[in-house]
Amino acid sequence: MVSEGDDAPDFTAPAAMPDGDITEFSLADALADGPGVLAFFPGAFTSVCTGEMVTFRDRLDTLQSAGANLYGVSIDSPFSLGEFAAQNDLNFPLISDTNKELIDAYNVEMDFEALGISGVAKRAVFVVDEDGTVTYKWVSDDPSVEPDYDEVEDAAAEAA
């Protein structure tokens, strides 16, 4: 279980970028540009996930003003994430975890047993400082609950 004060699991994964490109994303490389906010979400094109990512989009200036960068993470393919970003004008990278390595490394895997769906991300947020240390963690077992956006912004500012 990744906790505050732990080294964030490093990773390289495909990402849908705001310009429409799909590229390789490295957490270590991204942290060279400042702290990162990793926002795990269960699935693109679902109502709560769309609402969460749109809210983060609308509040991105506050995170960036604090010196932090935002990255969405889900098990969707980078192609699906690219379309999801385009349809919702998302202006931050969406990282594809189709192999479920990130949800495993961050221990945020959730199963919807009643629906027969396994291995999606819990709704979770991790703030990682430039040294790669987790400075904030929020994980919900209820996929209908969104994070406290003010709390995330405060944590990002503190990490910067």
Q: What is the pLDDT of residue 29?
A: 97
d(CA 116, CA 129): 37
Q: What is the pLDDT of residue 98?
A: 95
Q: What is the pLDDT of residue 30?
A: 97
Annotated catalytic residue within 31, 38, 49, 120: 49
Each of the 160 residues of the chain gets a pLDDT tens digit; together they read 899 999 999 999 999 999 999 999 999 999 999 999 999 999 999 999 999 999 999 999 999 999 999 999 999 999 999 999 999 999 999 999 999 999 999 999 987 766 667 789 999 999 999 999 999 999 998 989 999 999 999 999 999 8
Q: What is the pLDDT of residue 115?
A: 63
d(CA 129, CA 137): 12
Pairing of strands 69-74, 94-96: parallel
- 39 part of the active site: no
Domains with residue ranges and CATH for the chain: 12-159 (3.40.30.10)
E strands within 29-122?
36-40, 69-74, 94-96, 109-112, 117-121
CA–chain centroid gap for 129, Å, is 15
Q: What is the pLDDT of residue 111?
A: 76
Q: What is the pLDDT of residue 88?
A: 97
Q: What is the pLDDT of residue 46?
A: 93
d(CA 133, CA 127): 8
Phi, psi of 63 (to 5 degrees): -65, -45
d(CA 88, CA 52): 11
